[in-house]
Structure 1
Amino acid sequence: MALLLAAAVLLLMTIVLLFAIQWWKEKREHRRIVSLFPGPEASLLLGNLDKMTPTEKSLSFNESLLLRFPKLFRLWAGPLFGVIIATHHDVIKRVLLNSTPKSEEFYRLLRPWLGDGLLISKGKKWLRNRRLLTPGFHFEILRSYIDIYNEATNILLTKWKYLAKNEKAVDVFDSSCYLALDVVLRCACSYESNCQTQSESAYVRSIVSLNEIPVARVLFPPYRSDFIFYFTPMGWRARKAVRTAHQHSEAIIRNRKMQLISQNLENQRGKRSDFLDILLLAKDDEGRGLTDTEIRDEVDTFIFEGHDTTSSGLAFTLINLARFPDFQQKCYEEIKSVLSNRKNVTWDDLGKFTYLSMFIKESLRLYPPVPFIYRTVEEPFEVDGFSFSKGCEIVLAITLAHRNPHIWENPDKFDPLRFSAEAAKNRDPFAYLPFSGGARNCIGQNFALHEMKTALALTLSRFELLPDSSCELKRAPYLILKTENGGRVYLRDRGSRDS
């Protein structure tokens, strides 16, 4: 017995040793490949981890590297793991058009929450589901959402009127978050959450946690191991947040299924459907629909992408309107000329907000809601003499590309006229990517832009936005771009001022 036990222990130790040797070889080869790329100095133990935190200081450091490394550079996350940071459209375009798959190293950290939805899935499954979901963003369906944009925004403006009267600053990130969540739940799921008027939502708290946790895991290498992570307090918080998010989406799906049955919508496919209807009724070429798990994954993905990215873009745009009063005045004059004395925005109005659209685009350039996109090379390729081998991790740094002085003149200057028809006509389309690019661009980008235009037009028609000088704007690049200390503006009621 003792001899058998000793043999078993020896066998186990041999297996562990062989795995360790193989792991070391792979990491050593990875380090050799990444070392071929240029980059800043790094410490032997920590690498550049101190320059990879989700803070304004780290972003500013990375932006300072653009003068030395105009198209790409490498950073080390510890002694063995390195990533290539792509900061120029020449590289970014090649990666996106090369159908390079999303990084499993990073996006697997989102899988417990988002499953295998459009954001994470790849290959045939992604292609099938993208085709099934595309009808949910057809022109006629988007057109039907304009009333919801108006109604949800008016709820927010009613709350803001009280704050303006009492000369209190508003946190536009908090307000935008609830507005965007209200809109996406109503539009996508026909679900009245009342999240703008009721107490803070446990679901929103869970989304905030699930947004921050993957970045924390990337920046602390031991947390990349599921075995270690889920025995930590943060891992416990992550599990709880995932449960809350899933329970919320599953309840919405159950309710919608019951409505479909009671309304007999299976036989009324020609009628207006929302995003969830399309998920529940979709059939591929072989007559197969989506499973319950696939439906939940897509609902979670769309609610996340449809509210968190939009709320970030909207909040930063509101802050920038307050920071640049001359531009704000031009937006207001355009809105006033389009709306006249009307209190709501119509579908036809959206195409008339030319200057407002340029302002939004410039805000999204300097403050893109998704600051980084992660890819892993499957098929080797070359760009400008740099060889990308299989297994290379590439970060498409949208926030750096949008401030790259080799692409943009005076890149830190806020100038909406960059997006006039004349200025933009010769620009490479991959130089500006607030919604990514290529085949995997954001399926809901028009939905987001329509919502933002409506909310901003109604806001500026009723309030003048003033900056909060005590609140310095410091970016915090998590999954979605946030700020380190919130974002506040003051409101001046235009009706009160005019009277």
Structure 2
Amino acid sequence: MSTHPPGPPLRHLPGLLRKLAVDRLGMMRDAAALSDAVRVRMGPKKLYVFNRPDYAKHVLADNAANYHKGIGLVESRAVLGDGLLTSEGDLWRTQRRTVQPAFRPARVAAQAHAVAHEAARLSELLRQRATAAPHTPVDVLADVTSLTLGVLGRTLMETPLNAHAGIAHAFEAIQDQAMFDMVTQSLVPAWLPLPTRRRFTRARRDLTRTVTALVADRAARITPGSAPDDAFARMILAARAHPDPARGHRLLQEELVTLLLAGHETTASTLGWTLLLLARHPRIRATVREEARAVLAGGRLPDADDLHKLTYTTQVVQEAMRLYPPVWILPRVAQAPDTVGGFTVPAGADVLISPYTLHRHPDLWDDPERFDPRRFDAAQSTHRPRYAYIPFGAGPRFCVGSALGMMEAVFVTALLTRDLELTVDPRHRASPEPMMSLRMGGGLPMTIRPVT
């Protein structure tokens, strides 16, 4: 006989709800500490929080058709539209089929040179800054974000994005508004001139202007009869073939906004956390440097074959994503009644799967707060449940760009560690900001010294 998951003791409920507004990660950790299945009432909503690999597998893969995008992403649809992150059903399947060929393994491998050259450009930029001002900290996170935009432009858009650095700031304002709408359950009128709303309005206007210019530029370079294989061009061609030109154009713009957001922010976050963790663990950093020097001897740039040789560097990135998964929460809404692990989930219930807490489950990870890349040795990970580690999500909506993102993170980590000594002030406290991705709040001020 199925039952509802237990709720938190009444004395804990006010604290959990307060944390929804001011400490979402804390709320998820508190819920996970109570039980692997918890039901929390939030006004008219009931949140079902599940924190076991088999529960995640059921919701995200086995019965994925019953679970549509949920709290947070629903509010994001109001600001992002119907892009790949927020769309559902036939529209989502059509969009996924449109861009999927741009992420074929052979095509991703062919982009290795573009990723490597962007990484080398960043390494040289940081080296020049270190030479010009040897003891002046540099916000490496800002430069890493610029790099991920550059990689996105070269690999998936055939469009330079160097002149559009303001995209990152626009997305910050847009996500702030989406999170505000989630916490307030969209009950605050849009006409109120609140600071978040004003910033959002400006950001959406600027982003619309940027997207319009990018579409016009790329569309003008698609010649009749050509068959470009980058994701952006495929989206443009799909919009041209849409039976309703106005809707096709609107969907194109919304899909591009999603590509710009998802294509740079998750990898920038992963790189930021990886570089910070390496700076705080010099022995692990030394091992990465030793591997990078051996694999990329003579100062050469990596190619696609090197990705499989940079095994320890890959483990470092995987462990950084365990502690700070770029997709920190996977919200869903049950379309029909279901049973998860023996617990009843009614239709319309908000279901939350959090990689952030799953990756810290003490039954799955020894000393889960410790940074230990060797967890991802084949010998150690063989018996770990498949769904214990889901930094890119899981099931049909598994991140389509995961392979490209991993290659980018590994190449950048290897090159920067091989060529530079990046140190961080021990007093600096980077704070994880749980937005649509797990951003790094406070920046990443680092002192840079070239390594000879």
Give the TM-score normalised by structure 2.
Answer: 0.91
| Cα pair 2:70 2:350 within 8 Å, conserved | no
| Cα pair 1:47 1:75 within 8 Å, conserved | no
Give yes or no for the alignment of 1:203 onto 2:167. Answer: yes
Provide closer, same or farther for how the CA distance between residues 236 and 474 of structure 1 changes in structure 2, counting only shifts above 3 A.
closer
Deviates more, 1:362-371 or 1:342-351: 342-351
Secondary structure at 1:395's aligned position in 2? strand
CA deviations over 1:149-187 (Å, ceiling 9, x no partner): 123223322331134332222323222211111211222
Task: Report matched runs for 1:3-402 at 5 Å.
Answer: 37-41=6-10, 48-53=16-21, 55=23, 59-60=25-26, 62-69=28-35, 71-77=36-42, 79-97=43-61, 98-99=63-64, 100-165=66-131, 166-195=134-163, 201-221=165-185, 224-225=186-187, 228-233=189-194, 234-260=196-222, 264=223, 266-269=224-227, 273-282=229-238, 291-402=248-359
Secondary structure at 2:353's aligned position in 1? strand
CA deviations over 1:251-278 (Å, ceiling 9, x no partner): 1111111111xxx3x4232xx6321122
Secondary structure at 1:280's aligned position in 2? helix
Secondary structure at 1:426's aligned position in 2? coil
| Cα pair 1:42 1:48 within 8 Å, conserved | no
| Cα pair 1:37 1:386 within 8 Å, conserved | no
Secondary structure at 2:367's aligned position in 1? coil
AA paired with 2:330? Answer: I
Q: Distance in 2 between matches of 1:391 and 1:47?
A: 25
AA paired with 2:190? Answer: F
Give yes or no for the alignment of 1:482 onto 2:439. Answer: yes
Provide closer, same or farther for how the CA distance between residues 54 and 139 of structure 1 changes in structure 2, counting only shifts above 3 A.
farther
Provide closer, same or farther for how the CA distance between residues 336 and 43 of structure 1 changes in structure 2, counting only shifts above 3 A.
closer
Q: Distance in 2 between matches of 1:279 and 1:417?
A: 40
Question: How far did residue 456 of structure 1 move?
Answer: 1.2
Provide closer, same or farther for how the CA distance between residues 382 and 357 of structure 1 changes in structure 2, counting only shifts above 3 A.
same
Q: What is the aligned partner in structure 1 of residue 364 from structure 2?
A: 407
Deviates more, 1:378-387 or 1:308-317: 378-387
Provide closer, same or farther for how the CA distance between residues 235 and 42 of structure 1 changes in structure 2, counting only shifts above 3 A.
farther
AA paired with 1:398? Answer: P
Q: Distance in 1 between matches of 2:419 and 2:297?
A: 12
Q: Distance in 2 between matches of 1:202 and 1:63?
A: 33
| Cα pair 2:364 2:384 within 8 Å, conserved | no
AA paired with 1:348? Answer: D
Query: Of residues 443, 446, 449 in structure 1, which corresponds to 2:403?
Result: 446
| Cα pair 1:40 1:74 within 8 Å, conserved | no
Deviates more, 1:292-301 or 1:312-321: 292-301
Gaps of 5+ in 1: 1-33
Q: Distance in 2 between matches of 1:40 and 1:481?
A: 29
Deviates more, 1:160-169 or 1:307-316: 160-169
Question: How far did residue 104 of structure 1 move?
Answer: 5.0
Q: Distance in 1 between matches of 2:441 and 2:237?
A: 42
**More RCO (CA 8 Å, sep 6+):** 2
Q: What is the aligned partner in structure 2 of residue 22 from structure 1?
A: none
Deviates more, 1:368-377 or 1:461-470: 461-470
AA paired with 1:231? Answer: L
Task: Give the RMSD, CA atoms, in angstroms.
Answer: 2.7
Q: Distance in 2 between matches of 1:312 and 1:453?
A: 13
Secondary structure at 2:256's aligned position in 1? helix
CA deviations over 1:403-431 (Å, ceiling 9, x no partner): 11122121111111111111112222111
| Cα pair 2:239 2:252 within 8 Å, conserved | no
| Cα pair 1:153 1:179 within 8 Å, conserved | yes
Q: Distance in 1 between matches of 2:303 and 2:341?
A: 48
AA paired with 1:486? Answer: G
CA radius of gyration, larger in: 1
Provide closer, same or farther for how the CA distance between residues 135 and 258 of structure 1 changes in structure 2, counting only shifts above 3 A.
same
Q: Distance in 2 between matches of 1:171 and 1:49?
A: 34
Question: How far did residue 286 of structure 1 move?
Answer: 11
Q: Distance in 2 between matches of 1:237 and 1:285?
A: 35
Secondary structure at 2:34's aligned position in 1? coil
Q: What is the aligned partner in structure 2 of residue 26 from structure 1?
A: none
Provide closer, same or farther for how the CA distance between residues 149 and 230 of structure 1 changes in structure 2, counting only shifts above 3 A.
farther
CA deviations over 1:121-160 (Å, ceiling 9, x no partner): 1111211221221101112321232232123223322331
Q: Distance in 2 between matches of 1:81 and 1:286?
A: 37
Provide closer, same or farther for how the CA distance between residues 404 and 36 of structure 1 changes in structure 2, counting only shifts above 3 A.
closer
Runs of 4 or more above 4 Å deviation: 282-290
Provide closer, same or farther for how the CA distance between residues 213 and 66 of structure 1 changes in structure 2, counting only shifts above 3 A.
same
| Cα pair 1:47 1:76 within 8 Å, conserved | no
Provide closer, same or farther for how the CA distance between residues 80 and 280 of structure 1 changes in structure 2, counting only shifts above 3 A.
closer
| Cα pair 1:49 1:219 within 8 Å, conserved | no
AA paired with 2:141? Answer: F
CA deviations over 1:389-408 (Å, ceiling 9, x no partner): 10110111110111111221
Provide closer, same or farther for how the CA distance between residues 356 and 405 of structure 1 changes in structure 2, counting only shifts above 3 A.
same
AA paired with 1:278? Answer: R
| Cα pair 1:85 1:395 within 8 Å, conserved | yes
Provide closer, same or farther for how the CA distance between residues 152 and 297 of structure 1 changes in structure 2, counting only shifts above 3 A.
same
